[in-house]
């Protein structure tokens, strides 16, 4: 990860990165900028995004780890 400032959803969109959520069951879900924008709004802060609860579509758990990753790692 570079030293780019990522503070809001708008920054994530501008830098073309996505949020990866990894459930405790191992299920991985990725949210791109458009999805984050829809859920949190343009000014939604990254710290809020990372602390938000994401319900796993496989096991229904909300205990997951989040990471901000660049699109190039897809």
Q: Which residues bind Zn ion (CB under 5 A)?
A: 23, 25, 27, 56, 58-59, 61
17 neighbors 70 (Cβ within 8 angstroms): yes
- 6 versus 31: smaller Cβ distance to Zn ion: 31
Please name which of 56, 29, 28, 51 lies closest in space to residue 40, comparing C-alpha atoms. 51
Q: Least CB distance from residue 51 to Zn ion, whole Å?
A: 18
- 20 versus 61: smaller Cβ distance to Zn ion: 61
Q: Least CB distance from residue 58 to Zn ion, whole Å?
A: 5
Please name which of 69, 60, 72, 74 lies closest in space to residue 23, comparing C-alpha atoms. 60
């Amino acid at each position: 990860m570079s030293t780019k400032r990522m503070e809001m959803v708008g920054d994530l969109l501008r830098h073309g990165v996505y949020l990866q959520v990894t459930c405790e069951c191992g299920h991985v879900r990725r949210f791109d900028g458009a999805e984050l924008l829809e859920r949190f709004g343009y000014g939604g802060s990254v710290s809020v995004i990372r602390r938000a609860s994401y319900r796993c579509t496989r096991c229904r758990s909300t205990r997951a780890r989040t990471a901000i990753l660049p699109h190039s790692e897809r």
